[in-house]
Copies of this chain bind each other. A is one copy, B any other.
Amino acid sequence: MTEAPQAGGLSDRLVDGLLDLISEGALGPGDSLPTVRELAQRFSVTTPTIREALRRLQTTDAVRMRHGSGIYVGEGIHRKLMPNPNSTPLKDEHIIQLVEARLTIEPGIAALAAANRTVDDLERLARAVDTAKRAADDNRPKLNFHRELAAASGNQVLFEVVDSLLAARSREQRALRAQIENHTRDYDQHVAIFLAVEAGDAEQARLLTEQHLRDLRTTITTNLGGHE
């Protein structure tokens, strides 16, 4: 019956209206939107009101508001899955659940990557393996091995899953992580996984990734359980 054109509050409708504006304009990340004042006029509301809708879109990086410059479409506009941008500090329990989730998910992704990787993927994977070694003096952006491995699977959704899991942790565990991780062992295992992916050996990539994450889980649980 009622097709519910009035979904709810004005703010909800403005969010939809802004998303429509982006869709209908075929706008992508980096493209600019009208000014706040123009948007307010176009939707027949005042600036504080359109601003609330823009803040909601900013939360998921659907838009970016740059002071003095303008409003732009962000990378989040195409995203399907994401880490909670309003996250509360993680408890130890969740850190363990995070690594166990990766242990469940990533071996299958490694197998997919071995089957689907392109030469471009291999190049980025190789750079990711090295990134850990060269530390900070590099001018090129730091690449995370597990993130690039997921990208090599060719499935954007799986990439977003892994990216979200990694982001959820790195939000605050950076200090601890640097201490408890075994960088030498990680490097060797990353190299082994890379070689399996390069060779297109899906089963080997799966097994090596599983063992790699099993070791990581052991390291984390022992360093976390004895402490607090």
Chain A interface (Cβ within 8 Å of chain B)? 9, 11, 15, 19, 22-23, 48, 51-53, 55-60, 62, 67, 76-90, 94, 97-98, 100-101, 104-105, 107-109, 112, 153, 155-158, 161, 164-165, 168
The interface residues of chain B lying within 8 Å CB-to-CB of A98 are: 80, 157
Find out whether the CB atom of B101 lies under 8 angstroms from the CB atom of A161.
yes
CA distance A52 to B52 in the complex (A): 5
Which of A58, A86, A165 has the most C-beta atoms of chain B within 10 angstroms of its own C-beta? A86
* A89 vs chain B, min Cβ distance (A): 7
Report if A81-B80 is in contact (Cβ < 8 Å); known contacts: A97-B156, A157-B97. no
Find out whether the CB atom of B60 lies under 8 angstroms from the CB atom of A85.
yes
Report if A81-B83 is in contact (Cβ < 8 Å); known contacts: A23-B89, A157-B101. yes
Find out whether the CB atom of A81 lies under 8 angstroms from the CB atom of B165.
yes
- From the candidates B19, B97, B101, name the one contacting A86 in the complex (CB within 8 A): B19
The interface residues of chain B lying within 8 Å CB-to-CB of A164 are: 80-81
Find out whether the CB atom of A15 lies under 8 angstroms from the CB atom of B86.
yes
The interface residues of chain B lying within 8 Å CB-to-CB of A78 are: 88
Chain B's closest residue to A109 (CB) is B104
